[in-house]
């Protein structure tokens, strides 16, 4: 192993140690304050990165692992979508709410930065929902069931997938009609893959999937990885955002498993959770912290006001329309919680700011401020939303008991 390889392994070790320490420290802090692991992972990345200790510096290997982590995060978000559950009114209302968010977000971006690429990036950032980040929190707390879970899945799916589509259309570098044509072609190919995934499989293939879930072969897991990489490669080859491919892969695999191997769906999901949340996804969030340009942000103190301002903008732009269009979909007392969860944003912010810094339309300080706003949203909004849900559950229980006594 030469010096470069040894250095990369040392940096990878530092990333993995940070990923390990984040949930351990979060568990210790939970007696006083709930801090999501993702925030601690980004914080460790800032500490390890060039802004502070300089232990980790991004290279091709680290970038590849981080990109795979982001792909797995989007895959898991796509996998969680249950179209049978959200179709109809929940999805239609979520689409209307997101369309309003787009209009508001782009309007605010234009008001702040004029008719520029930066305005477009900021406007799109305000329309996102961190479905992949929030889902584990809701799933662990048992809040995904019922009307609230259905409505948030619809809102989060649109708030994750919609911005990816607009990124592919507006920030891919193509002229609008070319981007639209390529996007339509990608959807046609992904739709064909989804249709093929739902076709009945031979009993021999089903037995092979079932038999290898507990062996070293792990055919189902390997098939998932092939689908992810294939659709990510297809999107990249068409110069569309790779996240489009990984999100679509999650949908395709979910349809395939549900149609042909429904009994094994939970086991396959647990194994993909282990690969994603046990390894690659934490690496992505730590590397996000490594990329965080703290020095540039501190060099412009006025920009320190931008994260709280953007946090309020998330609530107004993303949460406001969700509140208006959720009437009748969830209990009245849970609508504020839906606002808070829907306004949580982070992964796509890193994608948008990376696009902006790479093409020169955004400097490191503004990019860091936007990512910091996303960190604030993940730190504050899901915790507040969870507290509201627990309060409504606590008040609902006595009411339910009194009805039973009557």
Residue 244 lies in a domain: yes
pLDDT in the model for residue 397: 44
Residue 93: helix, strand or coil by DSSP? helix
Helices (H), 80-145: 83-86, 89-113, 117-125, 131-141
Residue 114 lies in a domain: yes
pLDDT in the model for residue 162: 92
Q: Which of 178, 268, 201, 266 is nearest to 228 (CA)?
A: 268
Q: What span, in angstroms and rounded, lies between the C-alpha atoms of 200 and 33?
A: 49
Residue 404 lies in a domain: no
Residue 402 lies in a domain: no
Instruction: Determine the number of helices (DSSP H) and then strands (DSSP E) in the chain.
Output: 20, 0
DSSP lists the bridge partners of residue 330 as: 327
pLDDT in the model for residue 20: 96
Tens of pLDDT along the chain (406 residues) come to: 667 788 899 999 999 999 999 999 998 988 888 788 888 999 999 999 998 999 999 999 999 999 999 889 889 888 878 888 898 999 999 999 999 999 999 999 998 888 788 899 999 999 999 987 888 778 777 778 788 999 999 999 999 989 988 888 887 666 667 777 888 888 888 888 878 777 776 677 777 777 777 778 788 888 888 988 999 999 888 888 888 889 899 888 888 877 766 666 777 888 888 999 999 999 999 999 999 999 889 898 888 999 999 999 999 999 999 999 999 999 999 999 999 999 999 888 988 998 888 888 888 899 999 999 999 999 899 989 988 988 887 654 444 444 444 4
Residue 333 maps to which CATH number? 1.20.1530.20
Sequence-distant (≥ 6) Cβ neighbours of residue 1 within 8 angstroms: 9
- Contact yes or no for 282/133 (Cβ under 8 A): no
Taking the model in full, what pTM does it have? 0.84
pLDDT in the model for residue 337: 94
Residue 403 lies in a domain: no
pLDDT in the model for residue 261: 61
Sequence-distant (≥ 6) Cβ neighbours of residue 233 within 8 angstroms: 245
140-163: b or e for each residue (b if 16 or more CB lie within 10 Å)? eeebbeeebbbbbbbbbbbbbbbb
Sequence-distant (≥ 6) Cβ neighbours of residue 84 within 8 angstroms: none
Output the six-digit token pair for 242. 């790779």
What's the Cα-to-Cα distance from 348 to each of 148, 330, 401, rounded to whole Å?
A: 24, 27, 43
Output the six-digit token pair for 334. 């849970």
Residue 344 lies in a domain: yes
Q: What span, in angstroms and rounded, lies between the C-alpha atoms of 69 and 72?
A: 5
Residue 24 lies in a domain: yes
pLDDT in the model for residue 31: 84
Split into its structural domains, the chain has a count of 1
Residue 29 lies in a domain: yes
Output the six-digit token pair for 282. 């934490």
Q: Which of 143, 153, 160, 136 is nearest to 90 (CA)?
A: 153
Domain region containing 201: 3-394
Phi/psi for 368 (5° steps) reads -65, -40
Q: Which of 37, 77, 43, 96 is nearest to 282 (CA)?
A: 37
Residue 50: helix, strand or coil by DSSP? coil
């Amino acid at each position: 192993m030469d010096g470069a390889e040894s250095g990369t392994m040392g940096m990878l070790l530092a990333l993995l140690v940070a990923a390990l320490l984040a949930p351990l420290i979060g568990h210790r802090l939970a007696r006083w304050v709930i801090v999501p692991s993702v925030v601690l992972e980004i914080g460790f990345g800032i500490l390890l990165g060039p802004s502070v200790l300089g232990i980790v510096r991004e290279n091709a290997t680290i970038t590849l692992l981080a990109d795979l982590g982001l792909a797995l995060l989007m895959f898991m978000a796509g996998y969680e979508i249950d179209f049978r559950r959200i179709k109809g009114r929940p999805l239609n209302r979520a689409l209307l709410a997101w369309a309003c968010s787009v209009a508001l977000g782009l309007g605010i971006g234009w008001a702040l930065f004029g008719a520029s690429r930066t305005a477009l990036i900021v406007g799109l950032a305000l329309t996102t929902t961190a479905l992949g980040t929030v889902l584990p929190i809701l799933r662990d707390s048992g809040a995904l069931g019922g009307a609230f879970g259905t409505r948030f899945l619809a809102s989060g799916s649109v708030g994750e997938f919609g911005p990816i589509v607009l990124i592919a259309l507006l920030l891919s570098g193509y002229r609008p009609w070319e981007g639209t044509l390529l996007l339509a072609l990608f959807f046609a190919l992904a739709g064909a893959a989804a249709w093929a995934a739902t076709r009945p499989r031979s009993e021999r293939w089903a037995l092979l999937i079932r038999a290898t879930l507990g062996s070293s072969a792990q055919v189902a897991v390997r098939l998932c990885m092939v689908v992810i990489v294939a659709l990510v490669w297809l999107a990249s080859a068409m110069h569309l955002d790779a996240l489009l491919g990984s999100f679509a892969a999650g949908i395709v695999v979910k349809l395939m498993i549900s149609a042909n191997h429904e009994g094994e769906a939970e086991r396959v999901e647990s194994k993909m959770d282990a690969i994603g949340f046990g390894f690659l996804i934490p690496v992505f969030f730590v590397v996000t912290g490594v990329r965080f340009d703290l020095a540039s942000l501190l060099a412009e103190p006025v920009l320190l006001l931008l994260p709280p301002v953007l946090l309020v903008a998330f609530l107004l732009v993303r949460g406001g329309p969700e509140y208006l269009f959720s009437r009748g979909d969830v209990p009245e007392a849970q609508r504020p919680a839906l606002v808070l969860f829907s306004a949580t944003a982070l992964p796509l912010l890193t994608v948008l700011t990376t696009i902006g810094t790479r093409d020169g339309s955004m400097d490191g300080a503004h990019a860091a401020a936007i990512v910091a706003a996303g960190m604030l949203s993940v730190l504050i909004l899901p915790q507040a939303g969870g507290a509201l849900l627990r309060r409504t559950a606590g008040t609902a229980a006595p009411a339910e008991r009194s009805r039973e006594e009557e």
